[in-house]
Amino acid sequence: MRDKDDLKVFISTRDSTCDECGEKLGRKAWITLMEGKGALCLSCADLDHLVFLPSGDAALTRRARKHSTLSAVVLKWSRARKRYERQGLLVEAPALEKAEKECLSDEEVRARRRKREAERRAEIDRDYVKRFALRVRELYPGCPPGREFEVAEHACLKYSGRVGRSAGAKSLDADPVRLAVIAHIRHTETMYDKLLAGGFDRWAARAKVDGEVQGVLQKWEAATVPNRNGFRKPRR
Ligand SMILES: [Zn+2]
């Protein structure tokens, strides 16, 4: 068991504010606690790309955690029992899908996928995602096809319930778009999540992958598109 070093996410029971971005998170926000500091929202903690698997199915939980580079236990204070109780696990979406395929019947897998997709549709502001994706494509023309939508959906989910950000913070300015692209590159193109899972401090992990992130960012900023033969050439 790696229970001792598991990352922990707490469902807050009182009004909380993120100590890093200053966002008011409201009641029942999902937060991480830093030793000696305070609360962090899931976005600042770099856990907002994970999906929630409620407790209940031990085999599914075990496998999802095994397949997920980064995972976090979700805990909630029980007033009645005066202790933290495990609510479930935050895992990477592909890890959950893989675990479901291994543990469940095809029919159950399909039903779960449909349910998740419906929840996602309800959470996501389609129009905002589309505008955000276009903006990513405009600022980062070298970004591989389709990635602009991954970046945009992630950025949009930030404003949904779990992360607790206000919709008023939605913006298509170059800076927030750049931050969203950087977060995406960190998660998908570097060892960052592995470092976090290994107990690295976020800032130390960020410093370690920064060179790599900047390299990818520059490539994406350059106005190149892959042509039919897979070669890249300047688009002028
Ligand atoms: Zn924050």
Instruction: Report the percentage of the chain scoring pLDDT > 90.
Output: 56
CA of 119 to the centre of ligand 1 (A): 23
pTM tops 0.85, yes or no: no
CA of 42 to the centre of ligand 1 (A): 7
Mind listing the pLDDT tens digit for each residue in 169-225?
567 888 888 988 999 999 999 999 999 999 898 999 999 999 999 999 999 999 755
Spatial CB neighbours of 50, under 8 Å, sequence gap ≥ 6: 68, 70, 71, 72, 90, 91, 92, 93
Q: What is the rounded CA–CA span in Å between residue 163 and residue 166?
A: 9
Mind listing the pLDDT tens digit for each residue in 88-107?
999 999 999 999 999 999 99
Would you state the pLDDT for residue 31? 92
Long-range contacts of 197-204 (CB under 8 A, 24+ apart): 197/7, 197/69, 197/70, 197/71, 199/5, 202/45, 202/46
Q: What is the mean pLDDT of residues 118-126?
A: 81
Mind listing the pLDDT tens digit for each residue in 19-51?
988 888 888 889 998 777 789 989 889 898 899
CA of 63 to the centre of ligand 1 (A): 30
Would you state the pLDDT for residue 84? 92
CA of 25 to the centre of ligand 1 (A): 9
Q: What is the rounded CA–CA span in Å between residue 54 and residue 90?
A: 9
CA of 220 to the centre of ligand 1 (A): 26
pLDDT exceeds 70 at position 164? no
